[in-house]
């Protein structure tokens, strides 16, 4: 769900879970549609100016909140539907400030140029050819990662149980994980295949929800129904479980339950939205268990900036929270926090 950015933290960095700041939405958990509220916020992205972008799911818009602002600005979407100015779900932002949005219902990825006016049309950059498993189609995509410098798009094509890559808006995707079995055989392209389909094997996925890429060409996938994070080196046929346990979903520090988002640091440290356990987990490279860095949060999207500050959408409370890495977690509302709604200071079920 993110554009690539190197994140380097001390392996023993800690956060204090006693205080949290709301940075968008209502601090009281109300929802709305005004400029200072959110309604079911889904995903979150932070650029290098500390501006926060929020996928405001039920308001069908992307809100941009400048640092310390009390209101957001609509930079994409604003109403439900199939038109080029309508959208929902995951977001990412490239080096030019262009906003990318996964439009799951319409099986496509949309792009809005930097500084697009509210209500402006976006451009379809992936999918948009109906729901399906062909090379130019998607099926309920959920995860998105944009390489900031190149604009290459990686998509967790959830209901096709695969990860696909678009190198340009006009190109067909390359399947990196996995091919999907259909009535017409295996979906395939001329790209490299590194996993064999739907399932719980090392080369398979079961409803992947998010994808991230590191600087060493490793693909990390939040494998939702397998309760794990799988990692592939591009070109390899088999993935490796680097967090969670395929055999068991659970709530111990060594387990995950329905992970929905993954962020990877340059050191290999992972931050995971452990949705089923209402927590955010941190897994160091090679560890057999994780560390809980935030609790009591139902989040579809997590983001970590260069300083180690954690941002997460709080779905049920219609807000985006922030935990600075300053020796402890300080939870700050940075978007929404003004009740559920569709005004510029509100969010509605951000994901």
Greatest Cα pair distance, the chain, in angstroms, is 55
Instruction: Quote the mean pLDDT of the chain.
Output: 76
| pLDDT of res. 350 | 57
Alpha-carbon distance 232 to 317, whole Å? 35
Reduced to 3 states (helix: H, G, I; strand: E, B; else coil), residue 236 is coil
**Average confidence (pLDDT) over 286-292:** 94
CA 193 to chain centre: 23
Tell me which of 70 and 198 has the higher pLDDT. 198
Instruction: Inform me whether the pLDDT recorded for 329 exceeds 60.
Output: no
| pLDDT of res. 85 | 53
Alpha-carbon distance 24 to 68, whole Å? 9
Instruction: Inform me whether the pLDDT recorded for 336 exceeds 60.
Output: no
Instruction: Inform me whether the pLDDT recorded for 75 exceeds 90.
Output: no
**Average confidence (pLDDT) over 256-265:** 94
Tell me which of 115 and 174 has the higher pLDDT. 115
Instruction: Inform me whether the pLDDT recorded for 178 exceeds 80.
Output: no
Supply the pTM of this predicted model.
0.80
Q: Which residues, 6 or more positions from 185, have their beta carbon under 8 angstroms from its beta carbon?
A: none
Q: What's the pLDDT band for 19 if we cut at 50, 70, 90?
A: low
Alpha-carbon distance 267 to 227, whole Å? 23
| pLDDT of res. 15 | 44
Strand-pairing partners, residue 61, are 56, 77
- Domain locations along the chain: 19-348
Instruction: Write phi, then psi, for 151 (nearest 5 degrees).
Output: 75, 5
Superfamily of domain 19-348, CATH level 4: TolB, C-terminal domain (2.120.10.30)
Q: Which residues, 6 or more positions from 23, have their beta carbon under 8 angstroms from its beta carbon?
A: 52, 65, 311, 319, 320, 321, 322, 332, 333, 334, 335, 337
Specify which of 66-70, 274-278, 322-326 reaches the highest per-range mean pLDDT: 274-278
Alpha-carbon distance 154 to 161, whole Å? 14
User: Tokens 């319409």 belong to which residue?
Assistant: 106
């Amino acid at each position: 769900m993110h554009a690539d950015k190197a994140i380097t933290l001390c392996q023993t960095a800690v956060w204090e879970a006693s205080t949290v700041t709301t940075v968008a939405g209502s601090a009281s958990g109300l929802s709305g549609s005004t400029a200072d509220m959110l309604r079911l916020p889904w995903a979150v992205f932070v650029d290098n100016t500390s501006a926060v972008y929020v996928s405001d799911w039920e308001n069908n818009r992307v809100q941009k909140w400048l640092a310390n602002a009390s209101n957001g600005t609509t930079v994409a979407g604003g109403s439900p539907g199939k038109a080029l100015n309508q959208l929902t779900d995951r977001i990412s932002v490239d080096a030019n400030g262009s906003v990318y949005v996964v439009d799951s219902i319409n099986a496509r990825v949309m792009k809005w140029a930097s500084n697009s006016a509210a209500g402006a049309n976006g451009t379809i950059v992936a999918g948009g050819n109906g729901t399906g498993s062909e090379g130019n189609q998607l099926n309920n995509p959920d995860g998105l990662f944009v390489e900031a410098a190149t604009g290459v798009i990686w998509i967790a094509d959830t209901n096709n149980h695969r990860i696909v890559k678009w190198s340009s808006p006009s190109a067909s995707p390359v399947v990196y994980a996995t091919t999907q079995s259909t009535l017409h055989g295996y979906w395939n392209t001329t790209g490299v295949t590194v996993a064999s389909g739907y399932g719980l094997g090392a080369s398979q996925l079961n409803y992947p929800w998010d994808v991230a890429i590191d600087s060493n060409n490793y693909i990390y996938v939040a494998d939702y129904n397998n309760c794990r994070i799988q990692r592939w080196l591009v070109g390899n046929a088999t993935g490796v479980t680097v967090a969670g346990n395929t055999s068991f979903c659970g709530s111990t520090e060594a387990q995950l339950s329905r992970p929905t988002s993954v962020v990877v640091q340059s050191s290999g440290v992972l931050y995971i939205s452990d949705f089923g356990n209402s927590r955010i987990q941190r897994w160091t490279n090679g560890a057999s268990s994780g560390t809980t860095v935030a609790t009591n949060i139902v989040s579809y999207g997590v983001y970590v900036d260069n300083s180690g500050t954690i941002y997460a959408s709080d779905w049920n409370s219609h807000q985006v929270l922030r935990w600075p890495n300053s020796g402890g977690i300080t939870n700050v509302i940075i978007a929404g926090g003004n009740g559920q709604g569709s005004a510029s200071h509100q969010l509605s079920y951000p994901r």
